[in-house]
Amino acid sequence: MAELMNKVRTLFMGTPDFSVPCLEKLLTMEQLAVVGAVTQPDKPRGRGKKLTPSPVKVSAKKNNLPVYQPVRIKNDEDFLRQLREEIRPELIIVVAFGQILPAEVLNLPEYGCVNVHASLLPKYRGAAPMQRVIMDGENITGVTTMLMDIGLDTGDMLEKSQLTIGPDMTLEELHDALSLQGAELMKTTIEKILDGTVVRTKQDDSLSCYAKMIEKDTGAIDWSRTTAEIHNLVRALDSAPGAFTSLGEEKYKIWRTKPADLSADGKAPGDILRADGKGLLVKTGDGVIEVLELQAPAKKRMKAADYLRGHALELPAKFE
């Protein structure tokens, strides 16, 4: 019993798949007593709009952890009271939770609220750092652990870990790599906090940029942009929500592309240069790009060449 009492009471806050490795890593740390998980309320999903729990809730239930789902923490007096009087966390770990925490929560735990953020702060603060870093053509990203304050990703940095972004790396691939990397960095950070060796570094606001949320129209392809910019947009939005373009009245999602070493003098951006079983080539603002995977209306995602064997496009044709 004395050994259990000496463990640090730790509360986890997170919601999507990205958060799950951190929660599961916490449960392996002998210094901690994980007292529960806070996550977003169940949401209706799919055609039947069935209420579906978050990935963090699923993991927490699997590990027999108490789960708390306040709609808005800052307005939920019952949950705030429960947090102070019953849960009594000494450390709070936050990973893609999805709500802004009020000062009352940030100031409650003895060891503070530690956030695992999927960028090398102070760059790419905000909601969509993984998408934006690919979209911008960056070669390096990583994970930062941060002691949270009332600003948006502005707290003192604790630890960092870098990761190289390959030229064809997609959002899904980056997400999975940073999710695992974040769990390891979180563990290292907590160990340093508990043994008193962690170093706090203030962020230089002049070096920051904001990774704004991905909207429905973010994926619209502007074919007058460079080949590199279009390629980066496509891989930044794979596997969700997807880049898209229009051919006449129909909208196509573009899932995978590859820069093509071809010239297309006299052609305009968006002009389709080839569309058959050998592939799909499109003129860009500065060259040509090959569409490797697409999704036609009411169809599944598939290789462009396979789709076009059965749905050849009559040229000339143009993506808008």
- Verify that 292 and 265 share a domain, yes or no: yes
The verdict on 274 and 167 lying in the same domain is no
Tell me: do 179 and 241 sit in the same domain: no
- Across the range 109-135, mean pLDDT stands at 97
Q: How far apart are CA 274 and CA 282, in angstroms?
A: 7
Are 259 and 281 in contact by the 8 Å Cβ rule? The answer is no
Four-residue CA torsion sign, 176, 182, 184, 187: negative
235 in the same domain as 186: no
pLDDT tens, position by position, 56-91: 999 999 999 999 999 999 999 999 999 999 999 999
**Which among 85, 118, 123 is positioned nearest to 104, based on CA atoms?**
85
Query: Which pTM does this prediction carry?
Result: 0.94
Q: What is the CATH number of the domain that holds 273?
A: 3.10.25.10
Instruction: Say if residue 220 is in the same domain as residue 191.
Output: no
Specify the pLDDT at position 2: 41
Which range among 124-138, 160-174, 299-313 shows the weakest confidence by mean pLDDT?
299-313
Judge contact between 25 and 184, C-beta under 8 A: yes
Return the closest-CA partner of residue 98 out of 213, 235, 216, 238.
213
Q: Which is nearest to 19 in space by CA: 183, 225, 245? A: 183
Number of domains making up the chain: 2
Is the domain of 10 the same as that of 102? yes
Query: Closest Cα partner for 185 from 112, 127, 118?
Result: 118
Write the pLDDT tens digit of every residue in 4-29.
568 999 999 999 999 999 999 999 99
Classify 231 as helix, strand or coil. Answer: helix
Strands 140-147, 272-276: parallel, antiparallel or unpaired by DSSP?
Answer: unpaired
CA 106/CA 86 separation, integer angstroms: 17
8 A C-beta contact, residue 240 and residue 262: no
> Residue 120 corresponds to which tokens in the numbers above?
């090398």
3-state secondary structure of 102: coil
Is residue 55 situated within a structural domain? yes
pLDDT for residue 4: 54
Same-domain status, 180 and 250: no
pLDDT band at 45 (very low <50, low <70, confident <90, very high): confident
Q: What is the layout of strands, in order, in the sheet containing 67-68?
A: 67-68, 32-38, 8-14, 91-95, 113-117, 140-147, 156-164
Per-residue confidence at 284, pLDDT binned at 50, 70, 90? very high
Residue 317 falls within a domain, yes or no? no
Which 3 state secondary structure label does DSSP give 291?
strand
Residue 280 and residue 178 share a domain: no
CA distance 207 to 244: 32
User: Which of 183, 207, 231 lies at the terminal end of a domain, its last residue?
Assistant: 207
Residue 197 sits in the same domain as residue 249: no
Distance CA 287, CA 262 (A): 7
In degrees and rounded to multiples of 5, residue 8 shows phi and psi of -80, 120
